[in-house]
Amino acid sequence: MPVAYSREAMSQGTVADEGSLNKIFRLMANEQRRYVLYYLHEVDTATELENIALQITAWRREKPTDDVTEMELEQTMARLRNVDLPKLANAGVVEYDSRTEMARFREPSRLFGLFLLLAARVERPLSENSN
């Protein structure tokens, strides 16, 4: 059943602000990108690529960070460096400096924030697989 939103809420930019649903769904369609967003939102500070990759790899492989191999870490770092972080930065939800390999979460549109919160509650990688 479709959800009805008030004209007032829509005119205030609380429902359909900054971008379309298609943009949000494309960004969040990839598990690794969602995990990056969950992690950066949770740490709430600029974080080194290697630290992001370590936690993301552990969550995706469902194992402790101490058990992540160097090869697994390098594969995740390469994808983050070349695909996921630039894509998230271009969308404006992450700040990423490729020179220093540091990334941080940017406050997204309200609609994107709601989808991120909902997705995190469904997947909950932070509470299930973190060290």
pLDDT of residue 99: 96
Q: Is the pLDDT of residue 14 over 70?
A: no
CA distance 79 to 114: 26
Read off the pLDDT of each residue in 104-114 and give the average, rounded to a whole number: 82
Summary mean pLDDT of the chain: 82
Q: At what angle do helices 49-61 and 31-43 cross, to 10 degrees?
A: 120
> Tens digit of pLDDT for each residue in 78-98?
999 999 999 999 988 899 999
> Tens digit of pLDDT for each residue in 67-79?
999 999 999 999 9
Read off the pLDDT of each residue in 44-73 and give the average, rounded to a whole number: 96
Q: Is the pLDDT of residue 33 over 80?
A: yes
Q: Is the pLDDT of residue 17 over 60?
A: no
pLDDT of residue 19: 58
Going from N- to C-terminal start, the domains of the chain cover: 31-129
CA distance 67 to 76: 14
